[in-house]
Amino acid sequence: MKFETNGRHADFRVPLAIEKAVIAGALTLICVISFANVLVRYFTDFSFAFTEEISVFMLIILAFFGSAVAFAQDEQIRITFFLERMNTKFRWGATVITLLANLAIFMLMVWFGGKFAYDDWRFNATTPGLGIPAWLYSMWLPIAALVIIARLIGRFQRQIRQKVPD
């Protein structure tokens, strides 16, 4: 972590290495599970089909934390055809509207994802493949959405400080 002061205000930065480590771990686990499944199926008639839910969960983690990195680095998917043809004032307005839309979507994910995880916990729901508590998976939806919200806000703060309306 980096804590800098530039005279006017303090700048608190959380390194992207955290999200990148989570992404690498998820991808590694997917590869290990898939490779083990191939080996077991090749040498026996047994299948690790129950591990599919772990692989799907890791893909979701990969997507959410990958999105957080993309938002932080301003590399998210977007259509720039019209944006590049706008003047600076309209481009800045489009940036603000995009930020607000993204914040609204991910705040809804935090709210409804939190309710979903709470319901999984409250009703003792279990996963179909492994039979473990479902909230162990669903609790990560609001957590990952909060990480994305933090990265969105951080990116927007950097854009404001740079006074670059891109």
What's the pLDDT tens digit per position in 146-160? 999 999 999 999 888
C-alpha radius of gyration, the chain, whole number: 20
Q: Which two tokens stand for residue 148?
A: 């994305």
Supply the pLDDT for residue 134.
Answer: 96
Which long-range contacts (C-beta less than 8 Å, at least 24 apart) are formed by 94-97? 95/156, 95/159, 95/165, 95/166
Lowest model confidence (mean pLDDT) among 86-95, 114-123, 142-151: 86-95
Model confidence, pTM? 0.85
